[in-house]
Structure 1
Amino acid sequence: MTEPVVIGSERSEVGLPAAMEILLSGGSALDAVETALRRCEDNLEDHYVGTGGLPNARGEVELDASIMIGSSRAFGAVAALKGYPNPISVARAVLEKLPQHALLVGEGAAFFAQECGFATADLLTDEARRLWREALGPSVESVEGENTAAGAGDEAYRAASLELVRRLAPHDGPWGTINVLALDRSGELVVGVSTSGYPYKYPGRVGDSAIAGAGNYCDLRYGGAACTGRGELSMRAIGARAVVERLALGDDPESACAAMLTDAATLPDEFRAELRTLALTFDGRHGGAAGQVGSVYALMTATSAEPEFRARRVV
């Protein structure tokens, strides 16, 4: 029997105790990952996942999530989902109820969520709206008003907004996608990812979190991996899959994560921002890497009273 382990990126500690409770009772890694990420998505203090996530450049919250099972490499994901507070559960429903597909986006993802009976919610909280307005400045007020035809001033505002999107950085404080990786007593390994994406992004932008091989990958023969940070870099480097390939070659989890980040750093990118990654193996070994000193990940084992924190290797 395998000893249960669950790890997660920064801020996943909100959900890890609930995940470990499931694992200790003999529950599945799939249930544990979904439950942990739902807790994170429902955390109104976190503005990078679920309800309260920071909106795109039009002031609309769009959510991405995915989940992958190591034994079958079955994958379910949603992207640019509006109005549904728990995209990880909708992603799991894609995996289980719509196995002929792996990824649904936008209106199609919302239609599927409605078909499945998921509850809707207003995802843009007052706090997230305030942060959005402060970041975009006083001119954001021009977004509101009567439904009139766009004029020259509107077009000038749109052009200025696009330039603003190019240079905006996240607000101060913890930020980024949340990853959760779990190994259950049966030996199953599952990886889940949830995010509201880069704040103030272009409407319809989808990052790595909903893309198999980029933000999420899981192969029970070797391990699972997930990424946070600059999603476009992870997509170009096929980040999570690259980490698992290094595990297959015999690298330890920390070294596998560092190797992927080293490769991603060679890609030209005028919008470069930090990329981080985590890995968990089929036999319970784990590790992570990041580009900043002090970066950590959260961990719980069968003997943990609460989430513990481990340093990531700095690349």
Structure 2
Amino acid sequence: MLIVTNHEGGVGIGETAKALRDGRPALDAAEAGVRLVEVDPAIRSVGYNSWPNILGQVELDAAVMDGTTLRTGAVGGLVGYRNPVSVARAVMERLPHEILVGAGAARFAAEIAAERLDNLTPAAHATWQRVLNESLDERQRAAFPDIPLSELCQRATDPEYQKDTTVFLAIDGQGGMASAVSTSGWAWKYPGRLGDSPIIGAGSYADAAYGACACTHTGEMTIRAGTSRAVVLYLKMGLSLEDALFEAGRDLRRLKGGLIRGVALHAIDAQGNHRVASFGEAKGVDYWIWEHGMAAPERRVAMHLDV
């Protein structure tokens, strides 16, 4: 049994470990951990109390993947619900689709009686209002929101607010493997922006025969490189976990133009090994690990890919 999660997942790894010890499947365990992160107000990049988009709306993205069946479910741009990861799982289990976005995702969440929640807190709203006022002149303030937003969303790349997803990778006692991820995306993003989290193969991928990977930080990069799927394919080709991450880093290094920042890659293989690596501007990344036989989860520092 094994769990790997990023820094933000620390609030949920204990529940995930308990679920595995109790004999629950990997996907159940990973989902349980993500659900706790989604409702923790101290985490500003996932779920409740997250930073909003440039219009002041908290849009949430999430995805799950069952590594045994290769089934997936994802939602993007979901507004007004408590646990998007569970809505993503319901997409997988109840629909003939893999992903729902925006109004369609919200309609489906209502149909399954998902718990509603206004994820924009007064504190987050106040910060959004301050940043907005600092960014607009008097004419723009009077016309807002009926103004061009493309220049305003450049705030989305501000390192002060460019934060993280949460990712959980799990292997259960029967060898089942799963991934679950959730995020609010970047603060002040253009409405409707999707990062890599709801894009299976970019933000996460799990195949119990080989391994799993999930990424954080600059989703625009991992979408272009298909990073999570690439790591699993490199494992399928016979590379070691560390070499698979190295090759994925080389793929990222080949990107030219667009937004190039940093990526953190979290990976496990079918033998129960794990590696976490940072790339580019993502440095000093830490993560959480728990495996069978450990008394408690441990916080560790990722290696950095120099490629």
- Contact kept, 8 Å, 1:247 with 1:253, in 2: the verdict is yes
Q: Which residue number corresponds to residue 147 of structure 1?
A: none
Q: Which residue number corresponds to residue 119 of structure 1?
A: 115
Amino acid paired to 1:121: L
- Tell me, in whole angstroms, the C-alpha distance in 1 between the residues paired with 2:191 and 2:263: 22
Q: Structure 1 residues 111 and 309 mapped into 2: Cα distance closer, same or farther (>3 Å)?
A: same
- Contact kept, 8 Å, 1:6 with 1:181, in 2: the verdict is yes
Amino acid paired to 1:113: A
Q: Structure 1 residues 151 and 158 mapped into 2: Cα distance closer, same or farther (>3 Å)?
A: closer
Amino acid paired to 2:4: I
- Contact kept, 8 Å, 2:63 with 2:198, in 1: the verdict is yes
- Tell me, in whole angstroms, the C-alpha distance in 2 between the residues paired with 1:303 and 1:170: 41
Bigger shift: residues 290-299 or 37-46 = 290-299
For residue 130 of structure 1, report the CA deviation from its aligned partner.
2.7
For residue 267 of structure 1, report the CA deviation from its aligned partner.
0.7
Deviation track 1:121-178 (CA, whole Å, cap 9, x = no partner) reads 1110122223323333446698xxxxxxx9996279834x421312444564893111
SS in 1 for 2:284: coil
What's the RMSD between the two structures over aligned residues? Answer: 2.3
For residue 98 of structure 2, the aligned residue among 79, 102, 108 is 102
- Tell me, in whole angstroms, the C-alpha distance in 2 between the residues paired with 1:121 and 1:177: 19
- Contact kept, 8 Å, 1:261 with 1:276, in 2: the verdict is no
What is the TM-score when the length of structure 1 is the normalising length? 0.90
- Tell me, in whole angstroms, the C-alpha distance in 2 between the residues paired with 1:118 and 1:85: 8
SS in 1 for 2:73: strand
Q: Which residue number corresponds to residue 303 of structure 2?
A: 313
Deviation track 1:186-219 (CA, whole Å, cap 9, x = no partner) reads 1100001100011111101111110111111111
Q: Which residue number corresponds to residue 268 of structure 2?
A: 280
- Contact kept, 8 Å, 1:8 with 1:297, in 2: the verdict is yes
SS in 2 for 1:104: strand
For residue 304 of structure 1, the aligned residue among 276, 294, 302 is 294
- Tell me, in whole angstroms, the C-alpha distance in 2 between the residues paired with 1:121 and 1:284: 37
- Contact kept, 8 Å, 1:258 with 1:313, in 2: the verdict is no
For residue 129 of structure 1, the aligned residue among 121, 125, 132 is 125
- Tell me, in whole angstroms, the C-alpha distance in 2 between the residues paired with 1:42 and 1:155: 30
Deviation track 1:260-286 (CA, whole Å, cap 9, x = no partner) reads 122112211342221111111122110
The 5-angstrom pairing of residues 17-36 of structure 1 reads 17-36=14-33
- Tell me, in whole angstroms, the C-alpha distance in 1 between the residues paired with 2:287 and 2:242: 12
The 5-angstrom pairing of residues 152-301 of structure 1 reads 154=143, 158-159=147-148, 161-170=149-158, 172=160, 175-291=163-279, 292-301=282-291
